[in-house]
Amino acid sequence: MESIVAPDCAMNAGLATAPGYAYDYPVNVHLDRRSRRLRATPAIRQLVQEIDLAPRQLIAPLFVREGGGPPVEIGSMPGVVRYSVADLVNECRQLAELGIPAVALFPVTDPAEKDPIGREALNPDCLVLRAVRAIKSAVPGLLVFTDLALDPYTTHGHDGLLTSDGTDVDNDATVEVLAQMAILHGRTGSDFVAPSDMMDGRVGAIRRTLDAADLSNVGILAYSAKFASAYYGPFREAVGSASAAGTRSLDKRTYQLNPSNRREAIQDALLDEAEGADILMVKPAGAYLDILSELRRATRLPLAAYQVSGEYAQIHAAARLGWLDYRKTRDESLIAIRRAGADMILTYFAKEIADELRT
């Protein structure tokens, strides 16, 4: 073997002593740009970090139930619970102290209050509106987002009123109910109503109805690109929308987006912008980062992303099995959502992230 001599450096010293290797000429590596200089120390890495996580970017989804007693755990969502109204208020105080600016409320409606047309949704004293009043009285500076959809209130678990033959959701009849819900929520104190139903034209109808009711300051966070996803299972367990119909899951493909369709998702989101939405949202977040990124380029409106129950649950499950590092995977998943273009994230990790950042 031809013999060569390497320069006196640690790396080549190891090679020089390895069997069969000998160097007898110097290697002169010249690079105009060395990217690793900007990764060399923790201080440098922090200085040049492009995306960060902060409590001000997080919205905490919270489940509220009837009655008193301690919070009720949700089996498929470790650490997430259903709160009584009193405990919900205490949780909101803690979140505000941690710097989280907003919560999104989801009611767990008593099955006795459900019916095929979701009458309870238009009850001025329904659970979610009582919760809004309590939060606004105790923590007035905390922003409250309330969901506009009928799935918590219907026995069939769909997001709207069914057609006369029961085979589909009636778009226009549902929109009328959503607009009426928006007035109730706005008058009660919701800062943003959040139509999550994916009916055509609902954002425009809600905006017109709010303005006509002298509620022009109430904002709309539109679930603009909400996909018919398999990742919603734990949420449906939490609110009881699937169990109401005696099923583990519901087929909502006539109104939620096809996971295969990128162009359609962007089109729907831009329609919501044209109809008066203040914030657009992509749901789920993790599997649809491409949609979030493209929408970020297509609009100047603020963008939200919902890291949904299934995303949360799978991180917990993999960590409990020892397959993934819980904290690192959690943080990487949220950074990816921010990097793709989200200005704010609805995430069940919100409280623990804010608590860790404080310390």
Contact 153, 118 (CB under 8 A): yes
Q: Can you read off the two tokens belonging to residue 238?
A: 């939490």
Residue 33 CB partners (closer than 8 Å, separation 6+): none
Beta bridge partner(s), residue 221: 279
The DSSP annotation for 135-166 comes to HHHH-TTSEEEEEE-STTTBSS--SSPBPTTS
Of the listed 114, 136, 252, 283, which one is catalytic?
A: 283
User: Which of 79, 111, 341 has the alpha carbon at shortest distance from 239?
Assistant: 111
Q: Can you read off the two tokens belonging to residue 98?
A: 């941690």
Where residue 20 falls (left for φ over 0; alpha for ψ -120 to 50; beta otherwise) is left
User: Which of 255, 257, 243 has the alpha carbon at shortest distance from 178?
Assistant: 255
- For this structure, is 226 an active site residue? yes
- For this structure, is 252 an active site residue? no
The DSSP annotation for 19-67 comes to TT--EES------S--GGGGGSSHHHHHHT------GGGEEEEEEEESS
Three-state secondary structure call for residue 99: coil
Of the listed 226, 252, 328, 351, which one is catalytic?
A: 226
User: Which of 128, 207, 119, 118 has the alpha carbon at shortest distance from 159?
Assistant: 118
Is the C-alpha dihedral spanning 15, 16, 21, 27 positive or negative?
positive
Which residues belong to the active site? 226, 283
